[in-house]
Structure 1
Amino acid sequence: MGEHRDDLPLVLLIHGFPEYWWAWRNQIQTIADAGYEVAAIDQRGIAGSDKTPNSSDALTLAQDISAIARSLGASRIVVVGHGRGGQLAWAAPALAPGMVEGVLTFSAPHARAIQRPGTHLTLRTWRHVLTTFVPPLARRGLTDPVSLEHLLAEWSAPGNDGASSQAQIYAAAMRLPEAAGISLDQLRWSYTAVQRPTGRRYFELTKNAIEVPVWSVRGQLDPLLPERAWRQDHTFTTGNFRQITVANSGHFIPEEVPEESSQIILEFLHHVAHQA
């Protein structure tokens, strides 16, 4: 492992649905070897994390990012998020101004872009949205390894088992008390955020453009989020913005193309360090 440098920010890795910190297993050591302290967290309510009454709204979950960093003794962070974790990463600079030095997202257009009306999502995405509103069926799909393997494979590039090969592990995490239900609650909150007081508050707090560097990475073969889903992302930043498309990858980029994802993270961290 490389020697930790005190002048570098903490790197926080935020997983997406339907996973937990294990989704970053291929990147943790690489980041640490580059001299960074790195923490891959479980979002509130997921896997072994605390199950609290307010585990579903993105405002609370985004606030958790800076709270976790402070609990680890950090005053400067770079946030790297995948999927729903990436949408929380977009919000982190607004909720912790002066603390977040960079935002890198995988498979995560800005939440405001996802909420707008239009055909920016695929029919497969909308089909999954409807499934989450049938909790018994959706919970079974997350806790049964065979069903979960099918979902992970369906959202990946054809023939890529980087994520689906871990279905047994992810299903076991979903079988922990309340984990599957909370995970689905978080998704339903996202889909109905504009109708919720906490959602309106969340969008109000995150309406200003982000001044720190933001890089957004999409899988060219992502079956949930077509290229048009990212068209508005540049309007949410005033700092350095870069859109990266990764070939031969679906939705689970860090697991489907782990080495390329690690290199993108290191390149981004290098960029942030030279922006400071």
Structure 2
Amino acid sequence: MAAAGYRAVAMDLRGYGASDKTPRGYDPFTVAADVSGVVRSLGATDAVIVGHGWGGFVAWSTAVLAPKQVRAVGAVSAPHPLMLMRTAQPRAVAQVGWFQLPILPERRLLAHDGIHIERLLRDWSAPGGSFPDAEASRRYRAALQVWPAPHCALEYHRWFVRSRLRADGRRYSARMRTPVAVPVLQVHGALDGAVNAASTATTPPGLITGELRHAVLTKAGHFPHEELPEQFNKLLLDWLAGLEP
């Protein structure tokens, strides 16, 4: 993105990488405020927010909860939040259900030098693909073995499930019925082991009123930007070039 002339900023979400690993704040209201704050802290009024997976969930949320800071949304392997449960693969639903248990999921992510993290990456990628290679696996495993990163990562999934019956979850669902009025690019891998790409092609009327572009990469799984980086970059750059300056 930077080589093409864009100001590109890669942000670690709260709880990941070099960002603070706080004891709470893994709900979309707080994380959308984090993204909005980062945009403004860099001296910008708005930005194109591109996110993968849970980052895509945050991008959708920020477009509704902090719309002044969002010029467009690129959602990668991330259906609209109100469609998330309907589009998840059964295996992924079972995995997220297991994440609700206390302590045990964290222990598993840390066990045996983080080998379970590599298995998750392989399970959700296209079968027979080259991702993750040894270097990518090492980086992902190392990043999620910095305590309490495993716990923080799981807290996003725990909030999403547990909030279904709470007031904050109902409030979030009600807010997300507000139409996303900016241009949207949705990118999915046809061989995604976590999200059913076919079921993401149709979003209920009224949730997106901005121009929508939907692309499915036939040979990619859940990580199209990692599995097919050149094809993904071209798709993203072509879309960015068509946005209003």
TM-score, structure 1 normalization: 0.81
Gaps of 5+ in 2: none
Q: Which amino acid counterpart does residue 182 of structure 2 have in structure 1?
A: V
User: Which of 62, 74, 78 is residue 108 of structure 1 equivalent to?
Assistant: 78
Q: Which runs of 4+ in 1 moved over 6 A?
A: none
Indicate conservation of the 8 Å contact 1:77/1:101, yes or no: yes
Q: Which amino acid counterpart does residue 68 of structure 1 have in structure 2?
A: V
2:131 pairs with 1:162: yes
User: Which of 63, 67, 80 is residue 97 of structure 1 equivalent to?
Assistant: 67
1:1-276 pair list within 5 angstroms = 31-115=1-85, 120-143=87-110, 144-163=113-132, 165=134, 166-233=136-203, 235=205, 236-272=207-243, 275-276=244-245
Gaps of 5+ in 1: 1-30
Deviations 1:82-131 (A, max 9, x none): 0011011112222222331110111000111124xx5x432211221122
What root-mean-square deviation, in Å, do the aligned CA atoms of Structure 1 and Structure 2 show?
A: 1.8
Distance 2:108 2:125 in 1: 17
Q: Which amino acid counterpart does residue 159 of structure 1 have in structure 2?
A: G
For residue 241 of structure 1, report the CA deviation from its aligned partner.
0.6
Deviations 1:213-266 (A, max 9, x none): 011111000122113431442632111111110011100111011111111111
Deviations 1:180-233 (A, max 9, x none): 011111111112332233322322322211111011111000122113431442
Indicate conservation of the 8 Å contact 1:113/1:229, yes or no: no
> Relative to structure 1, is the Cα distance of residues 45 and 114 closer, same or farther in structure 2, using a 3 angstrom cutoff?
same
Deviations 1:142-175 (A, max 9, x none): 3333222111111100122323542221121112
Indicate conservation of the 8 Å contact 2:190/2:198, yes or no: no
Question: For residue 7 of structure 1, what is the aligned residue in structure 2?
Answer: none
Distance 2:45 2:52 in 1: 22
Q: Which amino acid counterpart does residue 95 of structure 1 have in structure 2?
A: L
Q: Which moved more, 1:130-139 or 1:58-67?
A: 130-139
Indicate conservation of the 8 Å contact 1:57/1:199, yes or no: no
Indicate conservation of the 8 Å contact 2:89/2:195, yes or no: yes
Distance 1:45 1:164 in 2: 25
Percent identity over the alignment? Answer: 36
Distance 1:250 1:36 in 2: 27
TM-score, structure 2 normalization: 0.91
Q: Which amino acid counterpart does residue 121 of structure 1 have in structure 2?
A: A
